[in-house]
Amino acid sequence: MRERLLTEDDGATSVINAVAYLKKQFPRREKIEKVLKYLRKNRHRMRYAEWKREGLMIGSGVVEAACKTLVAQRLKLSGMRWSSTGAQAILTMRGWDQSERFDAAWALVAAHYHADVEVLANVIDITPKPERKKRRA
């Protein structure tokens, strides 16, 4: 059945028909009824052969790895606490960076939130200067 789901365009229908046949053979088995309802309800999500032809991922491994590298490694460090908005802001930019789209995304953000800054003429630089080493005589 798994092979049919992965290789046949209408594999979900074949699997549903097979489970429906089992239901007729064993009408008192509640587990079969439960599985049949699940398959019928989620048929539209079982277009695996089509998605494989399109080069799309059909397993959860890629998503799980992304969750680990994108979210867990950044947000679950010792002692960290995040609000929903703060975490979303960090993860959005981290997603841009890991997908190598940071520069393009940042350009869009900068274009939207552009602000002119006027530098005042009478500003005095108060940053500390490094001490000079004294010469020995």
Q: Is residue 129 part of a domain?
A: no
Q: Is residue 118 part of a domain?
A: no
Show Cβ contacts of residue 107 under 8 Å, excluding neighbours closer than 6 positions.
Answer: none
* Res 25: pLDDT: 93
Cα dihedral 59, 62, 63, 68 sign: positive
Same domain, 31 and 71: no
Cβ contact 75:90 at 8 Å: yes
- pLDDT band, residue 137 (cuts 50/70/90): low
pLDDT (tens digit, 9 = 90+) per residue, 76-119? 888 889 999 999 999 999 999 989 999 999 999 988 887 788 88
The more confident residue out of 121 and 26 is 26
Long-range (24+ apart) CB contacts under 8 A made by 79-86 are: none
Residue 68 is part of which domain span? 61-112
Same domain, 74 and 103: yes
* Res 26: pLDDT: 93
pLDDT (tens digit, 9 = 90+) per residue, 26-80? 988 999 999 999 999 999 999 999 999 999 888 888 888 888 888 888 888 888 8
Task: Examine the pLDDT at 134 and tell me if it is beyond 80.
Answer: no
Burial (0-12, 13-18, 19+ Cβ within 10 Å), 136 = exposed
